[in-house]
Amino acid sequence: MDWLSQWWTWLGVTAIPGLFNSVVAFRELNEKCRVLPFFEPSRSLGVWLWAVIQFSFPALLFWVVESISDRPEIDLELLAKAVIVYGLGFVALLNAEVTIGSSTYRIKPLYDAIVRIAYKMIENRQKRRSAAFWTDVVDVLRQQSDFARGLDFLENYFEVGDRITPDLHSNYGARVRETRRIQDAEERAMALKTLIMEVDRRDLVWILLRFPGTEDLVKKYYPRQFRRSLP
């Protein structure tokens, strides 16, 4: 392991872009998988593949372009490049052409192809059960008529989120108010389902239980969480 003792400093610096990019990219992953109510990232092989991609691509790019194999001096400029250019700025680099020696490469096509495989693995594992769950949610909501308490809670839930992390494009409040005005049971159930899909998975059970007739649904899909919700 003599090589590790000689290289650990440069390997550590090379890991910085991968770590930063993984943290930034996880938000996008979480948003894309928001509609998967049973998604558990740590138990998904697709997520582990996704994590390897998000870590390795910026780290390898940093290693090659900055010639880390030559063991350059580790100064503030190199560290700044690792964090800002190859870590936080990796998405911008994907759309640029990278010159290595006398050749020019575009890494985005390869990156996109492998990321697509990871997302497909996640989708294939989650799709059927998620579809069954949301179908049952619509069936339950379709049979109810009094949504005032649930909509009040949902409106406050989104308002709190928007005040902490403002999103000018979310328009949740207007969507909740529009849902209140819908008279057709089928249309209202679909609108409610779309709104509930936007909540954080960790809050899904507690929000569903604010709507009438959802107890059996929650018992079926989330038995442990239902027991914990009992007074």
Tens-place pLDDT, residues 57-99: 999 888 888 888 888 888 888 898 888 888 888 877 777 666 6
What percent of the chain shows pLDDT beyond 70? 90
Residues 6+ apart with CB under 8 A from 73: none
Task: Give yes or no for a contact between 21 and 90, defined as CB atoms under 8 angstroms apart.
Answer: yes
Band of pLDDT at residue 120, cut at 50, 70 and 90 = very high
Band of pLDDT at residue 224, cut at 50, 70 and 90 = confident
As a whole number, mean pLDDT of residues 104-132 equals 89
- Would you say residue 231 has pLDDT above 50? no
Q: What is the model's pTM?
A: 0.79
HSE-CB at 72 with a 13 A cutoff on CA atoms is: 15
Alpha carbon distance, N-terminus to C-terminus of the chain: 57
Tokens linked to 78? 């190199």
Find which of 72-76, 111-115, 128-132 is predicted with most confidence, using mean pLDDT: 128-132
Assign 99 to helix, strand or coil: strand
Burial of 113 (C-beta count, 10 Å sphere; 0-12/13-18/19+): exposed
- Positive or negative CA dihedral for 38, 44, 48, 50? negative
Tens-place pLDDT, residues 40-56: 888 899 999 999 999 99
